[in-house]
């Protein structure tokens, strides 16, 4: 959304691996959770209903989901490990989100900005990856809702594509920014 002239204005926007609606996001993560083996989806719902999301069984399910749809690297960089440690110990994450990426029970559970998408008038890149936890339908909704936006899907990567495929990710972002700069000159 253009916020006016000057240093505080937004003149281009990159929406990477995100959604305009938590309900839409959760519907997608539930479909992805169902692809996990050994009845993990059903068991995660049972553990959530019993309030047992802090135990090792729930964590195994969450880790399987994260490995398949959030990030998979053989040697995680130190900053990523620290980020996950911070999220795990954050009271804010639990209050706002809930016990996991696929179970949003916190204060954000009803957040929905889909009706505001048409107000975005700056060049926008909607960027996702092939195996992102934020499913393609969420990104397509953003793309359809933001007139003139560009949708890009990075192959062979998950939600944290910038960690898994940093060069390809940077190239996609760089091409978008260069195109915008070129169009303005």
- pLDDT tens digits, 15-38: 999 999 999 999 999 999 999 999
139 pLDDT exceeds 50? yes
- Looking at residue 161, which CATH number applies to its domain? 3.40.50.1820
Give the tens place of pLDDT for each residue, 55-101.
Answer: 999 999 999 999 999 999 999 999 999 999 998 899 999 999 999 88
Q: Which two tokens stand for residue 48?
A: 């959530």
Average pLDDT taken over every residue of the chain: 93
In a domain, 105, yes or no: no
Question: Do 31 and 71 belong to one domain?
Answer: yes
Residue numbers of the domain that contains 44: 24-96
Instruction: Considering only CA atoms, give the Rg of the chain.
Output: 18
Cβ-in-10-Å burial (0-12, 13-18, 19+) of 142 comes to buried
Q: Helix 56-69 vs helix 40-49: angle between axes, to the nearest 10 degrees?
A: 130
87 and 136 both lie in a single domain: no
- For residue 181, the model assigns a pLDDT of 85
76 and 131 in a single domain? The answer is no
Residue 102 lies in a domain: no
Single residue among 96, 130, 160 that ends a domain in this structure: 96
> Which of 53, 72, 96 lies at the terminal end of a domain, its last residue?
96
Residues 53 and 92 in one domain: yes
Band of the pLDDT at 175, cuts 50, 70, 90? Answer: very high
Based on the fold, state whether residues 170 and 128 are members of the same structural domain. yes
137 is a domain residue: yes
In a domain, 2, yes or no: no
Task: Please report which helix (H) or strand (E) contains residue 84, including its range.
Answer: helix 78-89
Last residue of a domain, one of 44, 70, 96: 96
28 and 77 belong to one structural domain: yes
Specify the number of domains making up the chain. 2
**pLDDT band with cut points at 50, 70 and 90 for residue 8:** low
Q: Are residues 17 and 39 in the same domain?
A: no
For residue 101, tell me if it sits in a domain. Answer: no
- Between 79 and 184, the more confident residue is 79
The answer to the question of residue 6 being in a domain is: no
Does 68 reside within a domain? yes
Structure confidence by residue, pLDDT tens digits, 96-106: 999 988 899 99
């Amino acid at each position: 959304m253009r916020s006016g002239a000057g240093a505080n204005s937004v003149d281009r926007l990159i929406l990477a691996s995100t959604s305009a609606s938590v309900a839409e996001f959760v519907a997608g993560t539930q479909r992805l959770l169902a692809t996990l083996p050994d009845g993990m989806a059903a068991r995660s719902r049972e553990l959530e209903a019993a309030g047992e999301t802090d135990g090792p069984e729930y964590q195994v399910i969450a880790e399987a989901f994260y490995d398949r749809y959030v990030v998979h690297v053989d040697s995680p960089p130190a900053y990523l490990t620290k980020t996950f440690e911070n999220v795990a110990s954050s009271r804010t994450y639990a209050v706002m989100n809930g016990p996991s990426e696929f179970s949003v029970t916190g204060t954000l559970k009803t957040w929905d900005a889909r009706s505001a998408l048409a107000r975005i008038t700056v060049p926008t890149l909607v960027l996702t990856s092939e195996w992102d936890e934020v499913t393609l339908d969420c990104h397509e909704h953003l793309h359809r809702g933001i007139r003139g936006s560009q949708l890009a899907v990075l192959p062979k990567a998950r939600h944290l594509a910038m960690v898994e495929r940093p060069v390809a990710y940077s190239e996609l972002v760089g091409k978008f920014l260069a195109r915008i700069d070129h169009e303005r000159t």
